């Protein structure tokens, strides 16, 4: 029926959803438990101790239980064997001493002997007298008390009777067969373990008969049950004691480690006066505390020495930089005078005047960079932020770098995505210096290939990416590209800049704006630098409007390949002479 079919489908879907929810909850609980286990040393110690304790207690309990059981059963079987042999001898003596005239008297004799056996041996539960040729138990050949019920006839298995017959044929009168079985107690209505012992006797006027004794092992079973209960209680107590001892020991062991970790974190945060307590004892933890405190004292002393040395170095750089400004100004003025009169000098002196002017200019750049670095180190660098369009700054910088690009035969393309919308609060002087460093470096390393500058923005940030297709950088070089006085190739010829401080200053300028300056490079594929700035103060940057790493499917650039620069797309907001604007 359609209605029942749709109802069944709906019910199956509901069950599947509930099963999925339960499975998800179980997975989360398992993950939390795994995390808690991995995050807590104390929990791992307690768990390991408890697991080993459970295994040890289980092994000891199994050994004790098996040993006691085997010993009790062995002694009980020896007693049963001796008792049944004595009962058989007594019964055979009674049979031989009695006068039997016919089969009816023989049956009465068997009943009388069986009754006396049950009366004299309190541990015997039943006595069977079976004719060797009897296949079906009958009243005439089976003597059994009413309390045992007819179920006991099932105790005489074919295997037991066959073994008894073999003993009779061998005339092994001193041997008995024994077999474990189960005895049903009609009073308690329960099944208990038992043993059936069999042998043969000679009855006058009746011939040989098989006689079987049924013994119950209920007392031994009760003793074993009581012992198991005692062992279980003892095991639970031992495990509880192990847990308490482990918790106490782990607390005494892990607590100092936890305190040491907390003190180490405080030291890492700059609180150099933090020390571990409990260093006055003579145990291992006190030794650890003393060693840790000694290490902290040594680190504090070394850090203070390094801070003093760093402060002295910064002060030295700052003082030297300031002191050099006056003689450098004098040299600059004298050099300008000589450079202006170079046409009146001989060729060698004229060339020297040009070299002097170039090197003095490089010296001034280096001195300005050193002064700027010293301001960052001293924490004296401040922002003079104002609302500006990053695209205007980038356009201005690229326009100023155009002569250098023409000299290097490097085409530059600028992509302003939605011009006029890249407005943010920043220091124009510092951001212009960052962009200038990136553009000039890209031109110098482009090896005649294009340089692409992209400006992008989103609701929270503005960014500029400078991409070249030149020699590129390795991953190791990218890691050090913002280090001071670092060059990818120290032997490389430089015609402009070259102080080794430009990118380091640019990185500090970006950090001063709460922005990020990142680099990417691969040999033969060029390099890419991305500057990301927040639109306003207080915005935390989690992403950038433009990707730093180019498309991974982009082919590598070799020395005989020049990437194709796509033509401009979209509106052309501003025309800059000699520049290609997208």
* Helix 41-97 and helix 218-268, axial crossing angle in degrees, nearest 10: 170
The confidence score (pLDDT) of residue 538 equals 77
Angle at 28 between CA 26 and CA 33, to 5 degrees: 95
Which pLDDT belongs to residue 464?
Answer: 92
pLDDT for 149 equals 43
β partners of residue 412: 451
**CA neighbor of 377 nearest in space, from 295, 293, 311, 424:** 311
pLDDT at site 466:
93
What is the reported pLDDT for 488?
A: 58
Rounded Cα–Cα distance for residues 481 and 503 (Å): 7
Domain with residues 383-581, CATH architecture: 2-Layer Sandwich (3.30)
CB-based burial of residue 416 (10 Å sphere; 0-12 exposed, 13-18 middle, 19+ buried)? buried
pLDDT tens, the chain, 582 aa long: 555 566 666 777 778 888 888 888 888 888 888 887 777 777 888 888 888 888 998 898 889 888 988 888 889 888 888 888 888 888 888 877 776 666 667 777 777 788 778 777 767 877 878 777 754 433 333 444 444 444 555 677 778 888 888 887 777 667 888 888 887 766 666 778 888 888 888 777 777 888 888 888 888 888 888 888 998 898 899 889 888 888 888 777 777 778 888 888 888 888 888 888 876 777 777 888 888 888 888 888 888 888 887 777 777 766 776 777 778 788 878 878 887 888 888 888 888 888 888 787 777 777 777 777 777 766 667 778 888 888 889 999 999 999 888 998 999 888 887 776 888 889 888 899 899 989 998 998 888 899 999 998 888 899 999 999 988 888 888 888 888 777 655 554 444 445 677 888 888 888 888 888 999 988 888 899 999 999 888 788 888 888 887 664 343 333 233 333 333 333 333 333 333 333
Report the C-alpha gap between 339 and 44 in whole angstroms.
Answer: 79
The pLDDT, as a whole number, for residue 465 is: 93
Q: Where are the beta strands (DSSP E) in 243-391?
A: 386-389
Question: Looking at residue 6, what is its pLDDT?
Answer: 63
Tokens matching residue 375: 């301001």
Q: Scan for tokens 């049924």, then name that residue.
A: 214
Superfamily of domain 40-271: PAS domain (3.30.450.20)
CA distances from 373 to 255, 288, 310, 338 (A): 45, 42, 13, 32
- pTM confidence score: 0.47
Cα 550 → chain centroid: 33
- Residue 21 in 3-state DSSP? helix
Q: What ranges do the domains of the chain cover?
A: 1-37, 40-271, 329-377, 383-581
């Amino acid at each position: 029926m359609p209605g029942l079919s749709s109802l069944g489908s709906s019910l199956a879907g509901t069950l599947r959803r509930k099963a999925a929810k339960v499975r998800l909850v179980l997975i989360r609980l398992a993950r939390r438990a795994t995390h808690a286990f991995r995050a807590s040393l104390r929990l791992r110690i307690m768990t390991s101790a408890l697991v080993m304790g459970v295994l040890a207690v289980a092994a000891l309990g199994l050994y004790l239980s098996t040993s006691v059981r085997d010993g009790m059963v062995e002694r009980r079987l020896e007693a049963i064997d001796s008792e049944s042999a004595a009962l058989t001898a007594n019964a055979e003596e009674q049979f031989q001493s009695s006068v039997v005239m016919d089969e009816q008297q023989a049956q009465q004799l068997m009943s009388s002997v069986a009754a006396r056996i049950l009366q004299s041996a309190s541990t015997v539960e039943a006595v069977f007298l079976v004719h060797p040729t009897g296949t079906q138990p009958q009243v005439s050949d089976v003597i059994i008390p009413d309390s045992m019920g007819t179920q006991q006839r099932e105790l005489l298995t074919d295997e037991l009777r066959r073994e008894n017959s073999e003993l009779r044929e061998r005339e092994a009168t001193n041997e008995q067969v024994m077999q474990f079985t189960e005895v049903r107690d009609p009073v308690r209505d329960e099944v208990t373990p038992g043993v059936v012992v069999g042998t043969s006797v000679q009855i006058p006027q009746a011939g040989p008969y098989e006689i079987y004794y049924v013994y119950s092992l209920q007392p031994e079973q009760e003793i074993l049950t009581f012992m198991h209960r005692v062992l279980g209680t003892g095991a639970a107590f031992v495990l509880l004691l192990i847990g308490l001892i482990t918790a106490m020991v782990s607390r005494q062991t892990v607590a100092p480690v936890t305190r040491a970790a907390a003190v180490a974190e405080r030291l890492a945060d700059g609180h150099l006066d933090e020390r571990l307590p409990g260093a006055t004892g003579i145990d291992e933890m006190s030794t650890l505390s003393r060693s840790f405190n000694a290490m902290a004292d040594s680190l504090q002393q070394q850090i203070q020495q390094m801070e003093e040395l760093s402060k002295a170095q910064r002060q030295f750089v700052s003082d030297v930089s300031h002191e050099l400004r006056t003689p450098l100004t004098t040299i600059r003025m004298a050099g300008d005078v000589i450079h202006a009169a170079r046409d009146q000098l001989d060729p060698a002196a004229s060339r020297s005047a040009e070299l002097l002017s170039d090197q003095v200019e490089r010296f001034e750049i280096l001195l300005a960079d050193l002064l700027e670095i010293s301001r960052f180190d001293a924490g004296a660098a401040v922002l003079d932020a104002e609302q500006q369009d990053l695209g205007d700054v980038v356009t201005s910088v690229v326009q100023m770098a155009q002569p250098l690009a023409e000299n290097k035969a490097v085409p530059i393309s600028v992509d302003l995505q939605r011009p006029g919308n890249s407005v943010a609060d920043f220091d124009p002087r510092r951001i212009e210096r960052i962009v200038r460093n990136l553009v000039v470096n890209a031109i110098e390393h482009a090896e005649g290939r294009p340089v692409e500058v992209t400006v992008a923005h989103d609701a929270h940030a503005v960014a500029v990416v400078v991409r070249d297709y030149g020699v590129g950088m390795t991953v190791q070089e990218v890691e050090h590209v913002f280090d001071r006085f670092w060059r990818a190739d120290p032997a490389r010829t430089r015609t402009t800049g070259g102080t080794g401080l430009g990118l380091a200053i640019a990185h500090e300028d970006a950090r001063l704006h709460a922005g990020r300056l990142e680099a990417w490079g691969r040999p033969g594929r060029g390099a890419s630098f991305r500057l990301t700035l927040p639109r306003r103060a207080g915005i935390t940057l989690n992403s950038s409007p433009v990707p730093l790493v180019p498309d991974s499917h982009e082919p590598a650039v070799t020395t005989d390949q020049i990437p194709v620069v796509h033509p401009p797309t979209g509106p052309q907001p501003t025309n800059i002479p000699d520049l290609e604007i997208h």
